[in-house]
């Protein structure tokens, strides 16, 4: 071939035979990639879809603030002889704690303090720090919580139900089995006596079929944060590519016009046909579901907002220690409450009362009820965002696209009404504030709002119009998950047959 011929080919582009050969090779490798990723991952996908349906009904065990307050007895103020200022002074805390609350533990009022260095507990009766809790005391605490005697107690550093990083700061634990109808296991910190987890036989059984396989939450792996995260990232990432390859192949093989001799839109029979048709019906859901799950592992930083501790710190305006609270007045206004939380708001000491009929907010020094007003909240919020302008304030009386609850017990509650304050900083931050107490309930930036659609909406189908009518969401999840199960199970059968043929 002369140079002029080469130039002509270059101008005209590759020849038709070359393109056909290249396309044939691409399709071949597409089939090979889909086949072997399917053989490797379809069993895992089957487990993911089945376990996801289980999780619709049984969530992973947790012992959150709402349950802690609901199960606590009213504070016995006759035993409270030490104020919050004395507690912090006695501990030598030079900074305001991240959290400080008073509640009953095993018949004794206890202050619980959370700082950057860890968790501490102080008896409100004696003012002495609780530094160790023996097994007998743990049994008494568990029995008091559940209202049933302890059957056994075992020391654990971590197990299947207290395995994440959040529990490391509280470990080791006493695991107390109590003789109630639910066969409850109560986990109590050996250092502070705090109840941190509560599981029942029902939850433990169904979570082995639900959250544990769904999140690949097996203790031996989950205790190592980064290896677990990488496992989920790589399996779901490869799964996305394999599913996309399958959808492409499926589109290449489907015939809506000029059907195959059998009269079907698919050339396949048996399990292959089930796999093909289900893939066409539910393949897009499968891909978006795997993608959103992959996104939850924050690849390359993900789309989650980086929590701005400086905003929370400036909003609180906290100072070292706490005010010398009028404890007699606090006991009077707090009669019948189950938990008292001490904090700061806008540089002023504040106390909130939980689980009783008292006023939600009282002054941190006088213990007199405080009526929060919008002007004070706005001024405090502006002080928390000094480099940004406040560009909008909304009062939400009902859920909207970004402030809503799904009913999942693992999610933090979203109380209403709530104030939303919008700022024009680079992250376009929104602050959500409880108008009754002035407490900042959360921050949300543009990344978090994107994550709401790319993760929450795609993975849980919590679109606003579905949340408005939950039966529709429930039915749709079952239909699409069933399609995913058919795709996955048929893929398992096809893969096993392929392996047998060698």
Three state DSSP letters for 364-378: CCCCCECCCCHHHHH
- Counting other chains too, the contacts that 222-227 makes at CB distance below 8 Å and 24 or more residues apart are 222/163, 222/164, 223/158, 223/163, 225/165
Instruction: Indicate if the pLDDT at residue 492 is higher than 70.
Output: yes
109 secondary structure, DSSP code: E
pLDDT digits (tens, 9 = 90+) for 361-405: 999 999 999 999 999 999 999 999 999 999 999 999 999 999 998
* Cα dihedral across residues 310, 195, 406, 345: positive or negative: negative
Residue-level pLDDT at 406: 83
- Nearest alpha-carbon partner for 154 in 180, 181, 186, 128: 186
Domains in the chain: boundaries: 27-60+205-305+463-502, 65-204, 372-444
- Nearest alpha-carbon partner for 484 in 57, 46, 53, 54: 46
Residue-level pLDDT at 171: 93
* Distance, CA of 433 to CA of 442 (rounded, Å): 7
Residue-level pLDDT at 307: 58
Residue-level pLDDT at 358: 83
Residue-level pLDDT at 169: 86
* Distance, CA of 168 to CA of 162 (rounded, Å): 8
Q: Are 141 and 130 in contact (CB under 8 A)?
A: no
Residue-level pLDDT at 35: 87
pLDDT digits (tens, 9 = 90+) for 147-174: 999 999 999 999 999 999 899 989 999 9
Mean per-residue pLDDT for 237-249?
Answer: 92
Strand 185-189 relative to strand 118-123, pairing: unpaired
- Nearest alpha-carbon partner for 34 in 259, 286, 335, 265: 286
pLDDT digits (tens, 9 = 90+) for 21-53: 877 787 788 888 888 888 889 999 999 999 999
* Cα dihedral across residues 191, 196, 202, 206: positive or negative: negative
pLDDT band at 502; cut points 50, 70, 90 = low
Instruction: Indicate if the pLDDT at residue 3 is higher than 50.
Output: no
Residue-level pLDDT at 306: 63
* Distance, CA of 96 to CA of 348 (rounded, Å): 12
Instruction: Assign 217 to helix, strand or coil.
Output: coil
- Nearest alpha-carbon partner for 111 in 328, 342, 437: 342
- CA–chain centroid gap for 339, Å, is 24
pLDDT band at 7; cut points 50, 70, 90 = very low
Mean per-residue pLDDT for 172-192?
Answer: 97
**Sheet containing 339-345, strands listed edge to edge, beginning at the edge strand earlier in sequence:** 129-130, 118-123, 108-115, 99-105, 339-345, 348-354, 361-363
pLDDT digits (tens, 9 = 90+) for 86-127: 999 999 988 899 999 999 999 999 999 998 888 999 999 999
Instruction: Assign 423 to helix, strand or coil.
Output: strand
Write down the H helix ranges in 97-254.
135-146, 165-168, 201-209, 211-214, 219-222, 225-253
pLDDT digits (tens, 9 = 90+) for 412-451: 678 999 999 999 999 999 999 999 999 999 999 999 999 9
Percent of the chain with pLDDT over 90: 74
* Average pLDDT of every residue of the chain: 91
Residue-level pLDDT at 2: 46
Give the predicted TM-score (pTM) of the model.
Answer: 0.89
Instruction: Indicate if the pLDDT at residue 346 is higher than 70.
Output: yes
Residue-level pLDDT at 21: 80
Write down the H helix ranges in 254-300.
270-295
* Distance, CA of 256 to CA of 277 (rounded, Å): 12
416 secondary structure, DSSP code: S
- Residue 144 corresponds to which tokens in the numbers above? 């008091």
pLDDT band at 253; cut points 50, 70, 90 = confident
* Distance, CA of 224 to CA of 21 (rounded, Å): 47
Instruction: Assign 124 to helix, strand or coil.
Output: coil
Least confident range of 179-188, 257-266, 287-296, 469-478: 257-266
* Distance, CA of 369 to CA of 311 (rounded, Å): 26
Mean per-residue pLDDT for 242-253?
Answer: 90
Q: What are phi and psi of 451, to 5 degrees?
A: -65, -30
Instruction: Assign 128 to helix, strand or coil.
Output: coil
């Amino acid at each position: 071939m002369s140079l002029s011929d080469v130039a002509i080919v270059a101008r005209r582009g590759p020849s038709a035979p070359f393109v056909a050969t290249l396309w044939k090779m691409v399709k071949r490798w597409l089939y090979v990639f889909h086949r072997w990723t399917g053989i490797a991952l379809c069993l895992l996908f089957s487990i993911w879809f089945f376990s996801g349906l289980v999780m619709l009904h049984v969530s992973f065990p947790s012992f959150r603030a709402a349950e802690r307050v609901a199960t606590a007895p009213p504070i016995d103020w006759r035993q409270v002889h030490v104020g919050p200022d004395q507690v912090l002074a006695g501990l030598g805390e030079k900074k305001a704690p991240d959290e400080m609350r008073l509640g009953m533990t095993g018949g004794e009022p206890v202050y619980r303090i959370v700082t950057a260095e860890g968790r501490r507990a102080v008896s409100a009766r004696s003012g002495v720090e609780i530094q160790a809790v023996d097994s007998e005391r743990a049994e008494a605490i568990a029995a008091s919580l559940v209202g049933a005697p302890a059957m056994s107690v075992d020391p654990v550093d971590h197990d299947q139900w207290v395995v994440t990083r959040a529990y490391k700061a509280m470990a080791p634990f006493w695991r107390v089995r109590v003789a109630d109808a639910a066969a409850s296991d109560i986990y109590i910190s050996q250092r502070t006596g705090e109840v941190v987890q509560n599981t029942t036989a029902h939850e433990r059984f169904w979570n082995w079929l639900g959250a544990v396989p769904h999140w690949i939450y097996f203790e031996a792996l989950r205790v190592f944060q980064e290896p677990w995260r990488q496992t989920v990232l790589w399996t779901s990432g490869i799964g996305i590519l394999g599913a996309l390859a399958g959808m492409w192949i499926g589109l290449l093989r489907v015939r809506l016009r000029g059907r195959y001799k059998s009269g079907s839109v698919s050339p396949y029979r048996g399990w292959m046909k089930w796999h093909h048709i289900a893939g066409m019906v539910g393949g897009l859901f499968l891909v978006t579901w795997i993608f959103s799950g992959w996104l939850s592992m924050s690849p390359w930083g993900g789309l989650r907002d980086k929590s701005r501790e400086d905003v929370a710190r400036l909003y609180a305006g906290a100072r070292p220690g706490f005010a010398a609270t009028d404890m007699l007045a606090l006991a009077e206004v707090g009669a019948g409450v189950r938990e008292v939380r001490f904090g700061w708001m806008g540089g002023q000491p504040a106390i909130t009362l939980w689980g009783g009929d008292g006023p939600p907010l009282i002054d941190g020094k006088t213990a007199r009820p405080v009526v929060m007003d919008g002007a004070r909240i706005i001024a405090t919020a502006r002080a928390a965002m000094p480099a940004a302008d406040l560009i909008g304030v909304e009062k939400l009386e009902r859920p909207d696209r970004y402030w809503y609850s799904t009913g999942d017990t693992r999610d933090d509650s979203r109380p209403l009404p709530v104030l939303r304050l919008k700022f024009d900083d680079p992250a376009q931050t929104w602050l959500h504030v409880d108008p009754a107490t002035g407490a900042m309930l959360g921050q949300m930036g543009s990344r978090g709002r994107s994550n709401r659609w790319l993760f929450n909406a795609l993975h849980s189908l919590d679109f606003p119009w579905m949340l408005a009518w939950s039966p529709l969401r429930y039915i749709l999840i079952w239909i699409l998950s069933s399609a995913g199960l058919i795709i996955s199970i048929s893929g398992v059968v096809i893969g096993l047959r392929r392996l047998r043929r060698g």
